[in-house]
């Protein structure tokens, strides 16, 4: 898998750090041209440069916690532990100096710059054309993917988009924000379209190349870019359908894991055995030395004395109650007091002395179910490292299905087929004449605790202000060490003041503002 190539990526990452301080990229200044161009001499150099683009996918401040701090603002979860800085993010009470929120923007621009280096240097190099095409496709994809996250997080049509830095202007020393984030979305679609033309289907990759960018990921992110773009331009809904269909019809065999066994089908999605199956479209490729820590971040703090989980991001009563009776996704998603689960090869019943809501996410717990997961090479022995071999999904095929459903509903078309595909897999009966309320429900319970981004959904639907004006609740048990102890439902997070004209985008880190000279988002 791709993780085996990260040593070469580290060599390239070290190189760009040595030749210039611009790997910081908060100032968006370029690398020194002479030494940089001299680096790109061989196919191995090009591949190492490409591999370096994946390095920050496994950074704790990206897709372990990082962007999850913003998703934590939703009504699905609370911080889970007393942590003032994290609580300020959830409460939209930021100054721009918060460490937890300071890295995602500059780290993304580091990858954008590395992608630009590849796109600037590799076309004129002489080596295997099929490898060259893949390298360029990966660069276009990774540039677009990171623009997607920074643009949708920090840009809108009021304060503007985020600076667009490409090969053509990357030597500039100053950059302006585009008037609207839709300019970013147009650039993202352009990049992803080029990437899709260059990249193969993921099914054609050898085992050691699994985890690289591929054609389905391009199509899926074009669809999601149009989904976000449609917030400002209704004409984009047709494009969402078009590119969702491209994923479904690409020839790679995309489908839901559905064997008509609802008690296990959804649960099995989140296992390392299925990470390169039909459902994960894009994920954080992980191993015991690098990858997403989210699996351990959500594990009980101190892990019942067995392994050092961190105990963050705990589900709310509101999320628990959002699942319908008979929905097998609830038990696969949430651990509730008294629930039986496997941990370190033994059966346990859930209790928590840590969780401030009385729940824990169960979605990523499979990796801890095996006997001696450390000795068997499944997880890192260091409870502070928290790495596992279990990849964490960022975009699944189920989201492609529901993006198409949403677009059809917005175009006054029937979306029963798509919504019922998701419901039936979970053990629920079909619905007739589904509405946007049904779509919102399915997105919520299908993607809870994932990077599909419930908070961004609430923002684009215009629901954030009303939902965040209500307090959040949990189950407070009288004896937190007893799985059978009685509980009361209590407020665990107060109602919040959400101002759409300000809070629909997040504050740009102060260091970025001071070093780059771009304008801060209005109202922050």
Domains defined for the chain, CATH in brackets: 43-199+498-523 (1.25.40.390), 286-390+462-493 (no CATH)
In this structure, what is the dihedral angle of CA atoms 320, 323, 328, 329, given to the nearest 10 degrees?
-70
Region for residue 211 given its phi and psi (left: phi exceeds 0; alpha: psi -120 to 50; beta: otherwise):
left
In this structure, what is the dihedral angle of CA atoms 79, 84, 87, 92, given to the nearest 10 degrees?
-160
Region for residue 517 given its phi and psi (left: phi exceeds 0; alpha: psi -120 to 50; beta: otherwise):
left
Question: How confident is the model over 485-504, as pLDDT tens digits?
Answer: 999 999 999 999 999 999 99
Is the model's pLDDT at 18 over the cut of 70? no
Closest CA to 4 of 223, 288, 350, 198: 288
Instruction: Taking residues 295-303, report their average pLDDT.
Output: 96
What's residue 1's pLDDT?
A: 54
Question: Over the chain, what is the mean pLDDT?
Answer: 93
Instruction: Taking residues 369-394, report their average pLDDT.
Output: 96
Facing residues of 34 across strands? none
CB of 152 closer than 8 Å to CB of 84 = no
Question: How confident is the model over 213-248, as pLDDT tens digits?
Answer: 999 999 999 999 999 999 999 999 999 999 999 999
Confidence of residue 8 (pLDDT cuts 50, 70, 90): very low
Question: How confident is the model over 175-214, as pLDDT tens digits?
Answer: 999 999 999 999 999 999 999 999 999 999 999 999 999 9
CB of 415 closer than 8 Å to CB of 409 = yes
CB of 315 closer than 8 Å to CB of 334 = yes
C-alpha–C-alpha distance, residues 92 and 498, integer Å: 7
Closest CA to 248 of 411, 66, 403, 43: 403
What's residue 22's pLDDT?
A: 33
Confidence of residue 7 (pLDDT cuts 50, 70, 90): very low
Is the model's pLDDT at 70 over the cut of 90? yes
Tokens 């392994």 locate to: 307
C-alpha–C-alpha distance, residues 29 and 165, integer Å: 10
Q: What percent of the chain has pLDDT over 70?
A: 93
SS in 3 state form for 350-398?
CCCCCCCCCEEECCCHHHHCCCCCCCCCCECCCCCCCCECCCEEEEEHH
Is the model's pLDDT at 104 over the cut of 60? yes
Question: How confident is the model over 403-425, as pLDDT tens digits?
Answer: 999 999 999 999 999 999 999 99
Confidence of residue 37 (pLDDT cuts 50, 70, 90): low
Indicate if the alpha-carbon torsion angle 20, 23, 26, 29 is positive or negative: positive
Q: From residue 159, how far is each of 90, 181, 502 by CA, in Å?
A: 21, 9, 9
What's residue 36's pLDDT?
A: 63
Q: Which two tokens stand for residue 377?
A: 């090479």
C-alpha–C-alpha distance, residues 268 and 273, integer Å: 9
C-alpha–C-alpha distance, residues 310 and 231, integer Å: 36
CB of 96 closer than 8 Å to CB of 89 = no
C-alpha–C-alpha distance, residues 62 and 107, integer Å: 8
What's residue 2's pLDDT?
A: 63
pTM: 0.94
Is the model's pLDDT at 345 over the cut of 50? yes
Instruction: Taking residues 128-155, report their average pLDDT.
Output: 98
């Amino acid at each position: 898998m791709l993780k085996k190539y990260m040593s070469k990526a580290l060599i390239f990452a070290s190189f760009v750090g040595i030749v210039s301080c611009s790997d910081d990229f908060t100032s968006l200044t370029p690398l020194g041209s002479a030494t940089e161009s001299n680096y790109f001499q061989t196919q191995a150099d090009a591949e190492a440069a490409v591999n370096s683009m994946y390095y920050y996918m496994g950074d704790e401040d990206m897709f372990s916690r990082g962007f999850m701090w913003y998703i934590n603002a939703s009504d699905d979860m609370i911080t889970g532990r007393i942590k003032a800085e994290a609580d300020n993010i959830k409460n939209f009470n930021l100054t721009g100096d918060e460490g937890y929120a300071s890295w995602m923007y500059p780290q993304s621009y580091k990858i954008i710059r590395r992608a630009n280096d590849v796109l600037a240097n590799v076309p004129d190099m002489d080596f295997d054309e099929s490898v060259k095409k893949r390298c360029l496709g990966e660069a276009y994809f990774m540039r677009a993917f990171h623009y997607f996250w920074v643009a949708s997080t920090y840009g809108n049509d009021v304060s503007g988009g985020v600076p667009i830095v490409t090969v053509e202007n990357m030597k500039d020393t100053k950059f302006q924000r585009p008037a609207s984030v839709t300019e970013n979305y147009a650039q993202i679609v352009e990049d992803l379209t080029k990437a899709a033309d260059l990249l193969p289907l993921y099914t054609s990759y050898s085992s050691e190349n699994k985890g690289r960018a591929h054609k389905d990921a391009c199509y899926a992110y074009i669809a999601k870019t149009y989904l976000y773009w449609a917030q400002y331009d209704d004409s984009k809904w047709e494009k969402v359908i078009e590119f969702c269909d491209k994923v479904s019809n690409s020839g790679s065999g995309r489908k839901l894991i559905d064997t008509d066994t609802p008690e296990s089908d959804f649960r099995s999605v989140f296992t390392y055995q299925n990470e390169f199956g039909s459902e994960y479209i894009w994920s954080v490729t992980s191993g015991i030395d690098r990858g997403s820590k989210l699996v351990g971040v959500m594990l009980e703090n101190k892990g019942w004395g067995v392994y050092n989980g961190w105990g963050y991001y705990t589900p709310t009563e509101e999320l628990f109650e959002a699942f319908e009776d008979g929905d097998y996704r609830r038990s696969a998603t949430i651990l509730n007091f008294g629930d039986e689960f496997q941990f370190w090869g033994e059966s346990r019943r859930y209790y928590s002395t840590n969780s401030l809501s009385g729940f824990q996410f169960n979605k990523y717990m499979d990796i801890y179910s095996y006997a001696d997961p450390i000795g068997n090479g499944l997880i890192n022995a260091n409870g502070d490292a928290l790495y596992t071999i279990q990849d964490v999904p960022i975009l699944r095929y189920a989201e492609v299905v529901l993006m198409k459903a949403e677009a059809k509903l917005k175009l006054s078309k029937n979306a029963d087929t798509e919504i019922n595909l998701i419901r039936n897999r979970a053990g629920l009966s079909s619905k007739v004449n589904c509405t946007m309320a049904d779509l919102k429900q399915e997105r919520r319970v299908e993607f809870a605790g994932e990077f599909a981004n419930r908070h961004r959904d609430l923002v684009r639907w215009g629901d954030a202000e009303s939902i965040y004006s209500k307090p959040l609740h949990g189950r407070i048990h009288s004896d937190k060490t007893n799985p059978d102890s009685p509980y009361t439902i209590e407020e665990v997070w107060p109602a919040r003041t959400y101002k759409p004209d300000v809070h629909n985008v997040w504050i740009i880190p102060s260091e970025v503002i001071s070093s780059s000279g771009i304008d801060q988002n209005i109202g922050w």
